[in-house]
Structure 1
Amino acid sequence: MPNTTDFSAKAPPGGNHPKRSTHKRIRRVGLSLLAVILLGVITFLLVPSPIEPAKWIAPTAPSFQEAGPWQENNKLSSAQIVTDAPKSPEFITFDKEGNLYTGDSDGKIYMVPFDAEGNPQEAQVFADTKGTPNGLKFDDNGNLIVADIKRGLLSVNPSGTVEVLADQVDGKPIYLTNELDIAQDGTIYFSDTSTYGRVMFKEMAENKPHGRLLKYDPITKQTTVLLEGLYFANGIALSSEEDFVLVAESYHYQLTRYWLKGPKKGTSDIFADNLAGFPDNITRDEQGHFWVGIFTTRISFVDQMHRSPWLAGTMAKLPESLLSGASAPAKHGLVAELSPQGELIESWQDPEGSLYGVTTAVSHNGYLYIGTAPGGSQGVHRLPLTK
């Protein structure tokens, strides 16, 4: 029987082909989306940046592949865990009995005792600052002096009671108390990292100095500003003779020296520059050597961004949550050991990244103790200082 029904896809005269209509709708939707995206990009580019970046040509980063003290090695790779009770032990110090103390980002300060053979025992909560304790060091009266990011300069007595020593200077807030060291006469030197009040990629992009070096006098209970205009003021350490104090400028890969005695008293200069990463905390050993924790190796994009204020300003428009990954630490553990004159003696590394995000390196009783910050490895580690 002949088929008299036409099931072909032909459109009726004057009508639209179904497939053609679908393609047109898809095309219209695509063009609309593209217009929205282009409009968003144009609007984003036209919106003023929240910062006015300063151009900076950063020095070429040292190479880990070339012979010299920065040459890649695995000296940190053998580090063993001491305690994992604090997840982010920013700084490490010891009391007269040899017990280890460290803080965590949740406000707790832990004490770790050791047995007669030097083996670490279970960590105990010593105090809670209700803030974020970073720098720690005992004074001669047995009080633990604490640089707390959120609360300022604190004193914690042996029973764990917390007292605020300073949270203002010259009638203005101390914005981000970070690290400290204590002189023999009890004077406390500490850093106020930034007027931003917290770590922000926007400040790195701006490339302007907002940090300060401060001094607290325990007799007068007065706080004074010694040095301003620091690029993310961080670690603090006094020299053996206490004729100068060092402060790390993380965002310019350098350590600045402020003279406390001698003909240069009251002036500052660069102690060590062009480090292979962002310097964090500084400690001094019995030989007068300075140990510098390098939180992350250099970030090539950041150095390139500093060359272009337009790029830096554009990046600062993005939400901070999207930028946090850009400044996350590289999985390359790094510590620098410097002479009393600022010369790099050697570097200690873990290029495989089992230990990274290093903030602190403390030489104590034949071991190098390592602290870290959020984004890096967790817990306190140590390794023998045999070479």
Structure 2
Amino acid sequence: MTRQNRIKDSAFCDGTTSLDKSPTCGLPLGLDFDYFAGQLYCCDPFVGLTRVGAFGGLATTLVPTKDGVPYRFLIAVTKTSDGPVYFTDASAVYGPKDADKSIQTGDSTARLLKYDPRTKNVTVLLSQLAGAVGLATDSDASFLLVSEFIAKRILRYWLKGEKAGTSEVFLTFPGGPNKIKRNQEGNYWVAVNVPKNDSTVAPQGVKFSPSGEILAMVDLSKEYNSRITIVIEYNNKLYVGGRNFPFVGQYDIKYVRNLTSTKINLYQIPIIVVEARMPF
């Protein structure tokens, strides 16, 4: 739950993906689970950074604003084991309803932020980002990866070591990278939407290592004919979702390796409706 009104108006909210209803029903665009504390952190652009306790229930708003100014487009969050919570505001100008405008105008007002649960302070780590919609850390929280959808790249922001507090371009893509998710082996998947000449996109899943080596790429355009948001690998399966699809796709994966490259063949099992209310 993200809003008190969400409980009162459950019939109004259930089954909807309408952005017009989001101020009442909630819009949890970014989620990350703290396995040590059993808590769920959530980015809701209409509420702020929130947290749900180990037993569920109504989310607690941790930081609704930065210096008194409400966030416009909170969208990604990751909790590190040593305390801080990192999250992104995809734009200081455009909200979720105007996401396409932010892309069309090349908006570069996004930010990477840090929330300290002990002091309850929020610090801006990076600004002037172009559509910061994805966020992930490595296994020992030495750096953050931030995807810039509009700039078509992933940045690496160092948290530890000699480069701490600095950033660098980590990967670039022919299309916009969205959510980044680390798998069980410590590698990453990112959803990438490559523009085509006919004004549509070719959705892809791209797997890469912590050093930036591309390990695999898979074309998802057969089942997905518009922008996807997320690709997750878990127990030799891929799960794919997007705002415009009322389902989550599940795929079996099989790796075919040779001396020059790693390819992935996807053998689709029947698409299953895991959740028909994908918000973004």
TM-score, with length taken from structure 1: 0.57
Aligned partners of 1:236 and 1:372: how far apart in 2? 17
Counterparts of residues 169-184 of structure 1 (less than 5 Å): 169-184=66-81
Q: Is the 8 A contact 1:170 1:224 kept in 2?
A: no
C-alpha offsets along residues 356-379 of structure 1, whole Å, 9 cap, x if unaligned?
Answer: 522111112222111211xx3321
Q: Is the 8 A contact 1:136 1:144 kept in 2?
A: yes
Q: 1:194 aligns with which of 88, 91, 94?
A: 91
Q: Is the 8 A contact 1:182 1:189 kept in 2?
A: yes
TM-score, with length taken from structure 2: 0.77
Partner of 2:229: 359
Mark the structure with the bigger radius of gyration: 1
Q: 1:159 aligns with which of 56, 60, 84?
A: 56
Aligned-pair CA distance for 1:277? 1.6
Q: 2:126 aligns with which of 227, 230, 251?
A: 227
Quote the sequence identity (%): 32
Partner of 2:180: 282
Aligned partners of 2:72 and 2:134: how far apart in 1? 16
Aligned partners of 2:175 and 2:15: how far apart in 1? 25
Which letter maps to 1:234? Answer: V
**Structure (1/2) with the larger strand percentage:** 2
Aligned partners of 1:174 and 1:358: how far apart in 2? 24
Aligned partners of 1:162 and 1:289: how far apart in 2? 30
Q: Is the 8 A contact 2:91 2:107 kept in 1?
A: no
RMSD: 2.5
Q: Secondary structure at the match of 2:82?
A: coil
Q: 1:378 to 1:87 in 2, by over 3 A?
A: farther
Partner of 1:144: 40
Q: 1:176 to 1:241 in 2, by over 3 A?
A: same
Aligned partners of 1:232 and 1:300: how far apart in 2? 22
Q: 1:354 to 1:174 in 2, by over 3 A?
A: closer
Which letter maps to 2:131? Answer: F
5+ residue gaps, structure 1 = 1-84, 89-103, 109-127, 302-325
Q: Is the 8 A contact 1:169 1:225 kept in 2?
A: no
Q: Is the 8 A contact 1:86 1:380 kept in 2?
A: no
Counterparts of residues 161-310 of structure 1 (less than 5 Å): 161-198=58-95, 199-273=98-172, 275-294=173-192, 296-298=193-195
The answer on 1:377 being equivalent to 2:245 is yes
Aligned partners of 2:106 and 2:77: how far apart in 1? 24
C-alpha offsets along residues 205-247 of structure 1, whole Å, 9 cap, x if unaligned?
Answer: 4324110001111111111111001001110000122111011
Aligned partners of 1:362 and 1:86: how far apart in 2? 23
Q: Is the 8 A contact 1:361 1:368 kept in 2?
A: yes
Q: Is the 8 A contact 1:210 1:230 kept in 2?
A: yes
C-alpha offsets along residues 62-85 of structure 1, whole Å, 9 cap, x if unaligned?
Answer: xxxxxxxxxxxxxxxxxxxxxxx9
Q: 1:350 to 1:372 in 2, by over 3 A?
A: same
Aligned partners of 1:154 and 1:189: how far apart in 2? 12
Q: Is the 8 A contact 1:177 1:190 kept in 2?
A: yes
Which letter maps to 2:125? Answer: L
Aligned partners of 1:211 and 1:190: how far apart in 2? 11
Counterparts of residues 113-124 of structure 1 (less than 5 Å): none
